[in-house]
Amino acid sequence: MILGQMGFLKNLSKKCLVIEMIFYVYMSPEVIQDANNGGPFAMDSLIGILRGFIQNCCVLEFEDNRLQKAVFNNVNQLPPSDARKGIMTLLGVLKKQNRFICNLVPNYNVESINILDVDDQVESTLLDFLLAGKNEMSTFSAKVETASLGNYNQSRFESQRSNLASNGRVFQDGELEQLEFLEEVLKKAFIHSKRIEICDGIFGEQFGDEFEYTFSKLFKWLSKELIELDCFEKIIIYCRKPSVNRVHYMKTQLSDLKSAERSNIKIEIRFYQLNGSQHAPKPLPHDRFIITDQIALTIGRGMDFLNKKTKKNRNTTIHCCMKDDFTKSINTFSNCTIESLII
């Protein structure tokens, strides 16, 4: 028993060192029933948890969508109330933002959900946290931190999740090896995506050195790491239009990169150029974004976050943000001429 507890604490200690910006969680349908049986406070607690999940979490789902069916069915059975409406709305946001990741393998011999099927796949699916029904708590191994509705707010996971959601993560120059940075910080944001959009106004003007190096390492890594590469649509880069020579250089280098990697990932560059007075603000926002079909991140220094000489990260700050922040920023430059380059 003591050895088991030591293993559990060791596992939690490792989890506390994880620095990814996006977390993978699982929520048992039993939690909905626990909230109903626990009264108004429990319902409010569940609403708070779901709001937190929307900030920076993806919910692992089974390949046949049985989790969503069970969760939504349990919510529909709740007595009519503002709380039920709120829970349904928040689950709808998660669904709309493609936050249900269908990579759990179900037991196809039965239609019901066995929570142990999730426990068995914790490591292969990179699960960070499991929110279980109170009657399920005694059935788990020590592979991942687990909590029920009643003690979720005391979990180490929630402390870490909320801190990163509020404060982001500041990386000092040379803090991580480049592959470690990609794996620990960006992997869970990218590996299930079908579309990645990068907004960095000076990417085109400064393409070369760290900008070119960072993108090439990111592209090579994505070509190997994307789980559903055949379903991946494209990478879109929003940047200000550079000189003709720089455009030609970008096209040549990126074409060579795709050829070297034998990759079919489409790259689309959208060049923004002012139509009116040259004294107007430069097109595209100062903020730099990386957006997928699930999440949005702000990247403090932009797309030169890897150092070509040291093979480590450069100083940068990464925050989760709302996709609407990116959309609003892009839409403010609707008066610009936009040229697309497909590679």
Regarding whether 175 and 160 lie in a shared domain, the answer is: no
Regarding whether 203 and 56 lie in a shared domain, the answer is: no
Strands 145-147 vs 129-131: parallel, antiparallel or unpaired = parallel
What pLDDT is recorded for position 53? 98
What pLDDT is recorded for position 17? 45
What pLDDT is recorded for position 329? 83
Percentage, residues of the chain above pLDDT 90: 81
Q: How many CA atoms lie within 13 A of 234 on its CB side?
A: 11
Q: How many domains does the chain have?
A: 2
Domain end (from 146, 165, 184): 165
What pLDDT is recorded for position 7? 40
Please indicate, yes or no, whether the overall pTM of this predicted structure exceeds 0.95.
no
Domain end (from 165, 200, 218): 165
Which burial class, exposed, middle or buried, applies to 214 when counting CB atoms under 10 A from its CB (0-12, 13-18, 19+)? Answer: buried
CA distances to 47, 237, 251, 299 from 89, in Å: 10, 32, 44, 29
Strands 296-299 vs 316-321: parallel, antiparallel or unpaired = antiparallel
Q: Which residues of 92-128 are buried (b: 16+ CB within 10 A; e: fewer)?
A: eebeebbbbbebbebeeeeeebebeebbebbeebbbb
What pLDDT is recorded for position 13? 38
Strands 195-199 vs 289-292: parallel, antiparallel or unpaired = antiparallel
Q: Which of 153, 127, 150 is nearest to 140 (CA)?
A: 127
Low-confidence ranges of the chain (pLDDT < 50): 1-17
Regarding whether 23 and 161 lie in a shared domain, the answer is: yes
Domain end (from 165, 190, 219): 165
Regarding whether 190 and 154 lie in a shared domain, the answer is: no
What pLDDT is recorded for position 279? 58
For residue 192, the enclosing domain spans 171-342
Phi, psi of 63 (to 5 degrees): -60, -25
Report pLDDT digits (tens) over 123-164.
999 999 999 999 999 888 889 999 999 999 999 999 999 999
